Amino acid sequence: MAKNSFLKQKVAADIDAQVERVLADLGNPEPPLRLEVVRDRLKLDKGFYTANDPGLLQETVHKLRVGTKQLLLRPALLIDAVRKFDLRALYIPDQKRILLDGSQPKLKFRWNEAHEIGHSIIPWHEGAMLGDDDTTLIPSCHAKLENEANFAAARLLFLRGRFIEEARAMEPSIASLQALADKFGNTRTSTLWRCVEAWGDETPILGLVTDHPLHWHRKNDFNPLEPCRHFIQSTAFAARFSGLQETTVFDEIVNYANGGKGGPLGNADVLLNDDNGEPHIFEFESFSFHHYTLTLCIYDSAKPNVLSVSAR
């Protein structure tokens, strides 16, 4: 499960300032953002490699015009990083070059490219992108850099406050999410992350990306102990429901999901316990896009105490 984490306020503000400069230089464009225009403004080049073909990956790396001493001494460094972290895209600072894994589904290209643009505009990433095994290749350091680049990509693709303003003007729902995804030109999954953030600043909201809840529609590699690909908490949700287990939430979806393979899978009012063990009512809504299912869980109210009164 990929459970979202939150950047420190100052780090987020510094990255957002970089994104603001880029968008201002482009004249604060209308959605959807054209990444080729962003790359042209930043003077970034783009190419492709194939991570699952060692021969082609090696050929791509060795064809690069190496400009840093470190890569000159160790041209296999990129290959090591790709294999260790299963990278789907790369940014090479001295080349100002983005490389995308061409074997990935095309729908993922846009996010992957924006993620690497994120690396390119965060000043403190340049010296760390191709570090040695004692720094960059440490998983904790890698995860930190990736989280920061994801934040930059999100602020860029969703045009910072523009998306938040439009999302908050709409009723939280799967239908609203799909309309926003179409307008901003981004995937439904990445839009789910942004909707949870926009709608859940004060209201506890949870977004889930899972396999189909019904076992006869699930993929063969489904893991019942880790049923959620992404477990996206709003800040208000994380503050009050941080101990909630993904299996608990997924089982609730299984309970109300209808038998359809695609389309709306139903909705229900579900009781979830907060970190103090107190029950609260959430409105659940699930929609299957065949390859994955999205679920929105939106806070409704605390469960009222019901007192039984005996007749006299």
DSSP three-state, residue 91:
strand
Mean pLDDT of 88-103: 82
Q: What is the pTM assigned to this prediction?
A: 0.86
- Across the beta sheet with 45-49, the strand order is 45-49, 97-101, 89-92
What mean pLDDT is reported for the chain? 87
| φ, ψ for residue 257, nearest 5 deg | -65, 135
Q: pLDDT (tens digit, 9 = 90+) per residue, 10-34? A: 999 999 999 999 999 999 999 999 9
Strands 293-302 and 279-288: antiparallel
Report the C-alpha gap between 240 and 302 in whole angstroms: 12
**Per-residue model confidence (pLDDT) at position 130:** 54
Model confidence at 165: pLDDT above 50: yes
Residues 6+ apart with CB under 8 A from 81: 87, 90, 130, 136, 137
Ramachandran region of residue 269, left (φ > 0), alpha (ψ -120 to 50) or beta? beta
Q: pLDDT (tens digit, 9 = 90+) per residue, 48-89? A: 877 666 555 555 555 554 444 444 445 556 666 666 556 677
Ramachandran region of residue 228, left (φ > 0), alpha (ψ -120 to 50) or beta? beta
Mean pLDDT of 271-290: 97
**Per-residue model confidence (pLDDT) at position 311:** 40
Comparing 100 with 166, the larger pLDDT belongs to 166
Report the C-alpha gap between 283 and 293 in whole angstroms: 16
**Per-residue model confidence (pLDDT) at position 270:** 97
Closest Cα partner for 4 from 309, 214, 209? 209
Q: What domains appear along the chain, each with residue ranges and CATH number?
A: 2-157 (no CATH), 161-300 (3.30.450)
Model confidence at 236: pLDDT above 60: yes
| φ, ψ for residue 13, nearest 5 deg | -65, -40
Closest Cα partner for 152 from 302, 279, 7? 7
In which band, very low, low, confident or very high, does the pLDDT at 309 lie, cut at 50, 70 and 90? Answer: very low
Mean pLDDT of 253-275: 97
